[in-house]
Amino acid sequence: MNWLLLLEQVLNGFQLGILLFLLAAGLTLVFGIMDLVNLAHGSLYMMGAYFCATFTGWTDSFLLGALLAIPATFILGILVEVIALRNLYARDHLDQVLATFGLILFFNEFVRLVWGPIGLDIPLPAFLNSTVEVIPGVPYPTYRVAIILIGFFVAGLLYAIVSKTRMGMLIRAGASNREMIGALGINIKLLFTLVFGLGAALAALAGLMAGPILSVEIGMGDGILILTLVVIVIGGIGSIKGAFIAAIIVGLIDTVGRSFLPEILKLMVAEDSAATAAPAISSMLIYILMALVLAVRPQGLFPPKGVGR
Which residues contact another protein (rule: CB under 8 A)?
A: 2, 4-5, 8-9, 12, 15-16, 112, 117-119, 121, 124, 129-131, 138-139, 141, 143-144, 212-215, 217-219, 223, 255-256, 258-259, 262, 275-276, 278-280, 283
Among residues 173 and 285, whose Cβ is nearest to another protein? 285
Among residues 119 and 168, whose Cβ is nearest to another protein? 119
Shortest distance, CB of residue 91 to another protein, whole angstroms?
Answer: 31
Shortest distance, CB of residue 70 to another protein, whole angstroms?
Answer: 22
Q: How far apart are CA 161 and CA 157, in angstroms?
A: 6
Among residues 5 and 180, whose Cβ is nearest to another protein? 5
Shortest distance, CB of residue 9 to another protein, whole angstroms?
Answer: 6
Virtual CA dihedral for 155, 27, 299, 189, nearest 10 degrees? 110
Q: How far apart are CA 113 and CA 94, in angstroms?
A: 29
Among residues 162 and 208, whose Cβ is nearest to another protein? 208
User: HEC profile for 190-205?
Assistant: HHHHHHHHHHHHHHHH
Shortest distance, CB of residue 129 to another protein, whole angstroms?
Answer: 6
> Cα angle at 20 between 83 and 58, to 5 degrees?
65
CB atoms within 10 A of CB 180: 11
Element at 118 (helix H, strand E): none
Among residues 119 and 182, whose Cβ is nearest to another protein? 119
Shortest distance, CB of residue 285 to another protein, whole angstroms?
Answer: 12
Q: Both ends of the chain: CA-CA distance in Å?
A: 43
